[in-house]
Structure 1
Amino acid sequence: MPADTPQVVCPHCQAVNRVPAHRLGDGARCGKCREPLIEGKVIPAGAPAFERHLANDELPVLVDFWAPWCGPCRSMAPAFEATAKTLMTEARMLKVNTEDEQALAGRYNIRSIPTLVLFRGGREVARISGAMDASRLAAWTRENL
């Protein structure tokens, strides 16, 4: 796997694409559905999309485990969105609703929300619980990349 052409999972159709690293922030499109691959947006993910990103995305994957009834989760959502733009070529940003994906939350031992888990190469490399602002979230992510 050449580092200069990482695999990136399409946030729209889940197809796996190889993209030259210099094109990650340059409007690269999916070879299957032609939608943008890197948009600087948070990707809502159910279990199948989550698994696909962890198994195939060569960019680190930052996952926000959250629930709609959680006040701190809702208050952190804009910061997570802003961080997705800031880190758009450095990491994928996924949101997993723990109400909809209870088995996934259980498998990753999510006991409080929001919990952020950073994965690299499909393996957990860092975890933190609690709401953060965008600058702290970006700094924490970069520290752990």
Structure 2
Amino acid sequence: MTASDTLHIVCPHCHTTNRVRRDQLGAAPDCGSCHKALFTGQSVALDAASFERHLGRSQVPLLVDFWAPWCGPCRQMAPGFEQAAAQLEPGMRLAKVDTEAVPALAGRYGIRSIPTLILFKDGREVARQAGAMGAADIVRWARSAG
């Protein structure tokens, strides 16, 4: 097994980095540390530390919904974002960052309106979309951008 046969995947539960064979991604791999599923078909809520870990260590694209609890369009989009997570995993990790709880991340990425989706690949921003979208539009946008 070579390095190109494996990917680093950060656990959505304990945030430990795991090495997973590419051909095993679709086979429901578990975390070597907490033994929970690495892919659950649901988004993961990230704080500043876990965001850095997923951004810097995971080798699958990271789609982040920057949102706030008081934002009507954010709450309206939330079910569609979860449906998109079920469709896009394991090829992509979907995460949510509460801009009220982690304002430094919102500032770092220049979030001016919410919800804003940012797609990161290899630790770098590759696409951004502001405004609420339904599940089908999120999936289509993420696949075309990623």
Question: Structure 2: how far apart are the matches of 1:4 and 1:92?
Answer: 19
Counterpart residue type for residue 85 of structure 1: A
Give the Å deviation of 1:2.
3.2
Q: Deviations over 1:1-21 (max 9, x none)?
A: 834311100011111001111
* Counterparts of residues 72-111 of structure 1 (less than 5 Å): 72-111=73-112
* Counterparts of residues 120-131 of structure 1 (less than 5 Å): 120-131=121-132
Report the secondary structure of 2:141's partner residue. helix
Report the secondary structure of 1:73's partner residue. helix
5+ residue gaps, structure 1, are: none
**Which TM-score applies when normalising by structure 2?**
0.96
Question: Structure 2: how far apart are the matches of 1:46 and 1:106?
Answer: 14
Question: Structure 2: how far apart are the matches of 1:3 and 1:69?
Answer: 43
Q: Deviations over 1:84-138 (max 9, x none)?
A: 0000111100100000000110011000000000000000000010000111110
Which residue of structure 2 lines up, in the alignment, with residue 71 of structure 1? 72
Counterpart residue type for residue 66 of structure 2: F
Counterpart residue type for residue 61 of structure 1: L
Identity of aligned residues (%): 52
Question: Structure 1: how far apart are the matches of 2:128 and 2:76?
Answer: 19
Report the secondary structure of 1:63's partner residue. strand
Give the Å deviation of 1:40.
1.1
Q: Runs of at least 4 residues of structure 1 off by over 6 A? A: none
Counterpart residue type for residue 68 of structure 1: P
5+ residue gaps, structure 2, are: none
Aligned 8 A contact 1:25 1:38 in 2: no
Counterpart residue type for residue 141 of structure 1: A
Query: Does 1:144 find its partner at 2:145?
Result: yes
Cα root mean square deviation, aligned: 1.0
* Counterparts of residues 31-46 of structure 1 (less than 5 Å): 31-46=32-47
Give the Å deviation of 1:27.
1.8
**Which TM-score applies when normalising by structure 1?**
0.97
